[in-house]
Chains A and B, each alone.
Chain A
Amino acid sequence: MSDSRPDGNEAGILHIALAGNPNSGKSTLFNLLTGLRQKVANYPGVTVEKKEGVLRLPEGLEVHVVDLPGAYSLNPRSPDEEIAHDVVLGLRDDTRPLDLLVVVVDASNLERNLFFASQLLGVGRPVVIALNMMDVARAAGFVIDVPSLQLALGVPVVAMAANRGEGVAELRAVIARQLTAPSVPRERIPLSPSVAEIVDAAGEAMVAAGLAKLDWARGEVLRLISSQKALDHRRLAGAPSVRAAVEKARGELAARGVAWHTLEATQRYRWIESVLRRARGQREVSENVTDRLDRVFTHRVLGPAILLAVVFAVFAAIFQLAQYPMDAIQSGFDATGRLALRLLPEGLMQDMLVNGVLAGVGSILVFLPQIMLLFLFLGILEDSGYMARVAFIMDRVMGRVGLHGKAFIPLVSSFACAIPGVMATRTIENARDRLVTILVAPLMCCSARWPVYFLLAGTFIPPVRVFGLIPLPAIIIFAMVVLGVVAAVLMAGVFRRTIARGENPSLILELPPYRMPAFGAVFRVMIERGWIFVKNAGTVILAISIVLWALSAFPRRPGASPSEQIRQSYAGKIGHLIEPVIQPLGFDWKIGVAILASFAAREVFVSSMGTIYGVETADSENPTDLRERLRAEADPATGAPFFTPLRAVSLMVYYVLAMQCMSTMAAVRRETGGWKWAVFQFAYMGVLAWGASFLVWHGGRWLGFP
């Protein structure tokens, strides 16, 4: 029996994959089939999620299932589609050749969904079609004749409504049957005799090269003829005869006036039309719910107004709701710290645990509630279909700076925290668009910057009222927020013209129908993403926290006050060492130490300044003592106050632009598949920050500010 399987996988373990268009219900079906027996990771080197699980079938069959990322075509245009292509064609070392493809097709959007399905029918694997969303199709007035569709496609078709569990039992049974008696579908795309002759000649070359069987070679050949990228693919590197045959076919087609690059899509859709003429009752195109909602949500005036209201509501909810768990986490860490101080003997170990591990990881984990809530709202926006409308409304504006409309929400999210912002870029299909968005996201004013701005602007900017109305510190802080946005826009433009040049990134975007979000699934994703963040905090961030702690704890001077200890530590020495570099910005070595320490997270700047200046109660909520101490600090050269408004502004500008956040770096590393872009981002933001602060400091001096 196992001989009849397409490839000799290990006996007993069968491999199947779920493939289909985005939004066809693959994930829902995957969850139904595998239950909780699943694991989520990333494909190595890319930011595409790899979801695997185990399906137990009645006859004791254990089936390994992968949920492939959504794709519109086997000719990839995004990392997601690339993965789908590679797994389906068995080109990846980390996935096994498939024993069966379960193609999920949205019955309410059958025509377009059948395009990808028709490609998948021609890759030489057994196929089962899961005709999902039958409830939606029925409600929309489609009458689908399933037996006739099955006959036309030549593979089993199971009608389903995965969100209600309808049809799942039958799908399991059909999967089991297909696995025990597999059969590979024959290619069915009809071609005119003259074209067929040319195409099938190239097909024979594929068969000769061992890349296809005669039964189904035609589909793959069509793809190779029409797509240069498919023909240039590395899998054909060892088959020059196939390349030659395809090029010959192109020439012959051109000689007959057939445009070869349109051949595949044209012929497939022609076939789909003929299939649907038989299998689907015609229906009247009437205005549906989605159209009525879109009249409002994408209305010239109402659309943007609603979008603004949604963004405000989400932010208000995040900051309101996150406050309680954040306080709880903070006091949890504080209490654990106090407990450790009491239980552990005084010494290195205790110091490391309390001031390194707990303080460092604690300062990151307080953001967890914000991040989880943001993911919750992002999930709801995405699943309801509203996210695509946001992209639709904002595309014009974002397009101006070379970004996709889909970059809007990740960038807005970054006003709360860049980490979910960076992770939310996953919805951007185009890799370059995604990269540019990730690179500029941390320039948005995240919530960790506020304590820094409040401390500096509140302490050193005179609280005069401009026009007798708005306090100057508020204006300065607002200017910092604007500066971040302006920098992001400019840098996006620069990256688009330099490192991320290339083909039209945002050709086309599907506007799916509005749907009631599946809260269970949204919740699940929120937990998954939150867990990824915690794992990051547990590894990279833990390590960096310990390093930062060690820098300020060594060399040790027992009995020294915290402020003396840090002054003579390696951190203090590094502060002195980098003083020449930061002096042109108006900073001294003490600020250098605080900058170094706040690489953990920007808001750590406040408590670090507290430690350095020997103020014990540097509470970031209301650091009154620290404020007085800083105001009293004298410039050693002149005796005048060291912290002038100009110096404070220069320092704020530095914090607007510099990448002072190791968790974001960890997230960027994860999302871009390596340290390269994280380091690049750190470097460009550092250069930008240095340059801008330099201009502020020297420009201000030149204008006569102290």
Chain B
Amino acid sequence: MQTLAELEIGAEAYVSRLDAPPPDAQRLMEMGLTAGAKVRVMRQAPLGDPLEVAVRGCRLSIRRADAQAVILSGDDHV
């Protein structure tokens, strides 16, 4: 089981589910991180945290601790 925090820079994967408390999970999903969405880690900040993630055509900054809640899978079959 891979999380967004572990995804290599430049690599792509699909969101499988979110393992965050409901209010946080809700906002992450509203920002586009729903099951099946393609994500890609663009880069990390100079100090290693947060991450810049591309999802649904926009760029988001997410802290590693929160990215750990985003569970990934290799394909988009939810």
Contacts and interface: CB of A to CB of B under 8 A. Distances in A.
Interface of A: 72-73, 75, 77, 108-112, 115, 226-229, 261-262, 264-266, 269-270, 290-291, 294-295, 298-301, 303-304, 388, 391-393, 395-397, 399, 405, 503-504, 506-513
Contacts of A290: 59
A395 B34 contact: no
Interface in B47-78: 47-50, 52, 56-63, 66
B63 A506 contact: yes
- Consensus secondary structure, chain A interface: helix
B24 A507 contact: yes
Contact of B26 (A75, A291, A300): A75
A75 B23 CA distance: 9
A270 B18 CA distance: 17
B37 interface: yes
A393 B22 contact: no
A366 to B, nearest CB: 38
A391 B61 contact: yes
B57 A109 contact: yes
5 tightest CB-CB pairs across the interface, nearest first? A265-B29, A396-B47, A511-B59, A111-B56, A509-B61
A508 B62 CA distance: 5
Contacts of B62: 507-509
Nearest to A227: B26
Q: Which has the most chain A C-beta neighbours within 10 Å: B28, B56, B61? A: B61
A111 B32 CA distance: 8
A113 B22 CA distance: 22
Q: Which applies to chain B's interface (DSSP): helix, strand, loop or mixed? A: mixed
Contacts of A399: 49, 63
Contact of B66 (A392, A504, A512): A504
A72 B47 contact: no
B60 A511 contact: yes
B34 A265 contact: yes
A512 B17 CA distance: 25
Nearest to B32: A112
**Which of B26, B49, B63 has most chain A Cβ within 10 Å?**
B26
A112 B27 contact: no
B31 A298 contact: no
25 contacts: A72-B27, A72-B30, A75-B26, A75-B27, A109-B58, A112-B58, A226-B26, A227-B26, A261-B26, A262-B26, A266-B34, A269-B34, A298-B45, A301-B46, A396-B48, A396-B50, A399-B63, A504-B66, A507-B24, A507-B62, A508-B27, A508-B28, A508-B61, A510-B58, A511-B60
